[in-house]
Structure 1
Amino acid sequence: MKNRREITAVGGPHRRLTAAWTVPLLLLAAACVPGTNGSAGTTPGDAAATSLPDPANAGTVTLTVWDQQVRGGQNSAVERLNKEFEKKYPNVTIKRVARSFNDLKKTLKLALSGDNPPDVVQANQGHSDMVAFANAGMLAPLDTYAGLYGWNTRFPQTLLNLNRVSADGSKFGTGRLYGVSQEGEYIGIYYNKDVLRRANVEQPKTWEGFTAALAQLKKAGQLPVQFGNLDKYPAIHTFGVLQSQEAKSAQPVRDTVLGSGAGFGEETRGAARTFADWANKGYVPRGANGKGYDDAAKQFADGKGAFLITGTWLLADLRKSMGDNLGFMPPPPAAGRQLVTTGGEGLPWSITSKSDHPDVAAAYLDFLSGVHASEVMMQEGVLPVVPPTGSERKAGSETAADQVVKGWQDLNAADGLVPYLDLTTPTFYDTLSADLQNLISGDLPPGQFVERMQMEYDDFSAQQREDEGGAE
């Protein structure tokens, strides 16, 4: 879910982005959250730094880092930054272990519970990973470091809060800080300009125009939406886009994911019907559940499909093979509505509680997420949480890279980002991804699909209330 949902690495050189952008002042005007303001005062359980750490004074250090930045642009950016950090601090060696998202998710808990865990890890937000690891004491709170390095004002609070866990472990999105993220990301719609031209279809400007284009493309003998769901997570992203369009704003679904909403109602039912309808009409490939994510992306790049609904993390790979034939847009809203889509931050970088070098690890996190790191990321085709300032977008520029960052600006200005659905409960990723496969294949009717989502949400909410009552 995010580069967070990537499976294999794609290497190779990448062209430099042609421009830098600024984030709206609205996005950056972030106040500290009461009780988690990142002040320099140490609180029990916080990493113990009281002044800005200097890794040069730490002696000889090997920093073991587990990450899932295996895709081309992300891998290149991390490799560059690691070398620069080691050059800046010759006494520090970074021992990097790069794993795909699925592999990291499967192995991280065992690694953290061992006697010799990594110093720095990327741990997915939400109940199943970050919340569980924080409650088990496997991750170090970072509030003190956030104050020392200014992370509370560097990042928009709405995004930084996704990396917080409440003191009682019942919620994420509030409480202590357990990670910082490098990347901004959201689910958008890539389009193949040649395929659209062949079908005499213009780039849609509204959601109504997009759905009408699907029928036009099908009639013209073109595959409307390239899609592969063998890895299960891609359907979560596509479904999230459909659900957001039905909901008309980010708030209802966002509240539910963060545990304070009513659950899954008509917006979810409408999205399920639409997804099933797309499958029935052949708007997505037959047998999509048997096609891999990367295979679908390669087929899209080869002209087999007009649209590809996935994350901004795929920009570097697609532009490498497609060049100026690649276009991108956030899911266009219905006429008169604001932008809304699934998105937020990439997997946060966290410090493990057993690390022998927390101060060096904190300096590394700061280095990975600073202004220079943002410049490196943009050069490699990766969207930073806060794109660097200093120049305007080129007038009339319509490259996919420009479109990705402009969409990020517009989505944040519109408060249009909805957290990933699989963060809703500790087991939601497994159940939702499996049910979506059955929805697409026709084995699970839309109504039953929604009922199963609501049942899991209600059961988890009831268990939380029971746990809170027992703690009183």
Structure 2
Amino acid sequence: MFKVRTGAAALAAAAMLAVLAACGSDAEEPGGSAASSGPRTLKLWHYESADGAMGKAWTEAIKQFEATHPGVKVQFEEKAFEQIRQSAGMILNSDEAPDVMEYNKGNATAGLLSKQGLLTDLSEEVAKRGWDKLLSPSLQTTAKYDDRGVMGSGRWFGVPNYAEYVMVYYNKDLFEKHKVEVPATFEQFTAAMDAFVKAGVTPLAVGGAEYPAQQIFYQLALSKAQRPWVDAFQLYKGKVDFHGPEFTHAARTMADWVKKGYIAEDSAAIKAEDMGTSFISGDYPMVVTGSWWFGRFATDIKDFEWGTFLWPGNALHAGSSGNIWVVPENAKNKDLAYDFIDITMKKEIQNLLGNSGGIPVAADPAAITDPKSKELIENFNGLSAADGLAFYPDWPAPGYYDVLVSGVQNLVNGSKEPSAVLDELAGPYEENLADIGG
């Protein structure tokens, strides 16, 4: 998702924040070398908000990079998640490519660009700098892609710099006001939502116009799934029946939740940012979204107490490594890009990320002091250790994000029957599978 990835959800609008310094391009040569005279510039793109965990960590990494690289300045541009998702292929195939960029992981994104020859093979650099020693096997899945652009094996085309997963955030004050207990099972989850509906309160804040609604859909599918199904859907290790029990349960339940009032029908048009701010405002008891919102909620929620719990009853949850650092094949300063990535993987930066509400991949656990952050990280570590991370539903095929947005919107607004929606989801997936020789 992810990602969706976002975090990504906080950056609904594109913004260029600053140019810290700019240098003449005649001082640079392709491939990472520089002319003998003149300053150098590292061109960096990412889509993390300045007040989010990753944004804080990468700002500190920029400071450390410039301090350790005299004469080199970082030209940083903040991009929106959607902006990079939609235009990355075109930009990276030009001389406007950055030197290092945050990009979404998965077959449909990083995998596609690696197959198109637009990303640098980082395998040698990963081994040289020991990044592979810092990342668990489950986190490495999204960093490696084979010649088909399918994740999980092959060469390294990215470096995960944080981790993430989807959970339920809840408003403790509203739960207490309506005498609703935090659910531990799926049956208790639906009973809690029934209690809110009976009190005239819509239980779930949902963003149907972007990634959040499809992650609810996927969580429902995962409630009926086991690891082989995930491997078939995400890694093409078997055939996927879109009218099997997993997706059928998800589609029918999603439509039913709208009828029961758990999800507002007009949420089909709501964007992720508006969904998140409605929860921050205290308008909804719950929101289902990723850990990338954690830091934002910690900073912005002032008027009520809040907490989190894992989707009740599931052994599998949407989640993975976070987005990845990639180095475009057309980057002019690859050596500087590798140095910057290396700084973001250092314990000092990873510890800052963890204490700011993110999930680090290479932190010192003893250095994480914030209680809520410790709980967030411990929950992730538990999911990772139990092989409970199931990636995100839009990853398998290029363009599948938009297919899922449209399909889930049809479920929410009731414009199509669940069976018809599943047919729509099956078509592009199976076409892509045929294209890669699956």
TM-score (norm 1): 0.82
1: CA distance, partners of 2:198 / 2:112: 49
1: CA distance, partners of 2:375 / 2:37: 43
Find out whether 1:2 has 2:3 as its counterpart.
yes
Cα distance per residue 1:294-334 (max 9 Å; x no partner): 22222212221111000001011112233571101121226
Q: Which residue number in structure 1 is paired with residue 335 of structure 2?
A: 359
Q: Counterparts in 2 of 1:448-459, with a 5 A limit?
A: 448-459=420-431
Cα distance per residue 1:218-247 (max 9 Å; x no partner): 1122221111223x2211211121111121
Give SS of 1:217's match.
helix
Deviation at 1:359, TM superposition (A): 1.8
1:246 equivalent among 224, 227, 233: 224
Q: Counterparts in 2 of 1:222-233, with a 5 A limit?
A: 222-230=201-209, 232-233=210-211
Deviation at 1:3, TM superposition (A): 6.0
Q: Which residue number in structure 1 is paired with residue 104 of structure 2?
A: 124
Find out whether 1:165 has 2:145 as its counterpart.
yes
Deviation at 1:367, TM superposition (A): 1.0
**Quick check: 1:185–1:343 contact (8 Å CA) kept in 2?**
yes
Find out whether 1:257 has 2:258 as its counterpart.
no
Greater Cα offset, 144-153 or 156-165: 156-165
Deviation at 1:77, TM superposition (A): 2.2
Find out whether 1:389 has 2:365 as its counterpart.
yes
Q: Which residue number in structure 2 is paired with residue 114 of structure 1?
A: 94
AA partner of residue 119 (structure 2): L
Q: Which residue number in structure 1 is paired with residue 270 of structure 2?
A: 291
Q: Which residue number in structure 2 is paired with residue 431 of structure 1?
A: 403
2: CA distance, partners of 1:7 / 1:164: 25
Q: Which residue number in structure 1 is paired with residue 318 of structure 2?
A: 342
Deviation at 1:116, TM superposition (A): 3.8
Q: Using the aligned pairs only, state the percent identity.
A: 27
Alpha-carbon RMSD across the aligned residues, in angstroms, is 2.5
Cα distance per residue 1:330-369 (max 9 Å; x no partner): 21226xxxx3210102221111222232222111111112
Give SS of 1:110's match.
helix
Q: Structure 2: where are the runs of 5+ without partners?
A: 13-29
Q: Which residue number in structure 2 is paired with residue 141 of structure 1?
A: 121
Q: Which residue number in structure 1 is paired with residue 181 of structure 2?
A: 202
**Quick check: 1:66–1:122 contact (8 Å CA) kept in 2?**
yes
Cα distance per residue 1:38-93 (max 9 Å; x no partner): xxxxxxxxx999xxx9x9x9983211011111363132222122112111222221
1: CA distance, partners of 2:354 / 2:149: 36
Q: Which residue number in structure 1 is paired with residue 17 of structure 2?
A: none
Give SS of 1:422's match.
coil
Give SS of 1:287's match.
helix
Deviation at 1:169, TM superposition (A): 2.4
Structure 1 stretches of 4+ moved >6 Å:
none
Give SS of 1:373's match.
helix
Deviation at 1:115, TM superposition (A): 2.3
Find out whether 1:90 has 2:70 as its counterpart.
yes
1: CA distance, partners of 2:419 / 2:206: 23
**Quick check: 1:217–1:223 contact (8 Å CA) kept in 2?**
yes
AA partner of residue 3 (structure 2): K
AA partner of residue 207 (structure 2): G
2:307 equivalent among 303, 320, 327: 327
Q: Which residue number in structure 1 is paired with residue 21 of structure 2?
A: none
AA partner of residue 454 (structure 1): A
Q: Which residue number in structure 2 is paired with residue 377 of structure 1?
A: 353
AA partner of residue 99 (structure 1): K
Deviation at 1:273, TM superposition (A): 0.9
Per the alignment, do residues 347 and 391 of structure 1 end up closer, same or farther by CA in structure 2, a change over 3 Å counting? closer
**Quick check: 2:355–2:369 contact (8 Å CA) kept in 1?**
no
Q: Which residue number in structure 2 is paired with residue 405 of structure 1?
A: 377
Deviation at 1:405, TM superposition (A): 1.4
2: CA distance, partners of 1:58 / 1:403: 50
**Quick check: 1:127–1:424 contact (8 Å CA) kept in 2?**
yes
1: CA distance, partners of 2:9 / 2:380: 24
Q: Which residue number in structure 2 is paired with residue 234 of structure 1?
A: 212
Deviation at 1:9, TM superposition (A): 4.4
AA partner of residue 423 (structure 2): E
**Quick check: 1:253–1:261 contact (8 Å CA) kept in 2?**
no
1: CA distance, partners of 2:95 / 2:387: 42
Per the alignment, do residues 321 and 355 of structure 1 end up closer, same or farther by CA in structure 2, a change over 3 Å counting? closer
| Number of matched pairs | 414
Deviation at 1:376, TM superposition (A): 1.5
Give SS of 1:4's match.
coil
**Quick check: 2:148–2:436 contact (8 Å CA) kept in 1?**
no
Per the alignment, do residues 235 and 222 of structure 1 end up closer, same or farther by CA in structure 2, a change over 3 Å counting? same
1: CA distance, partners of 2:376 / 2:174: 20
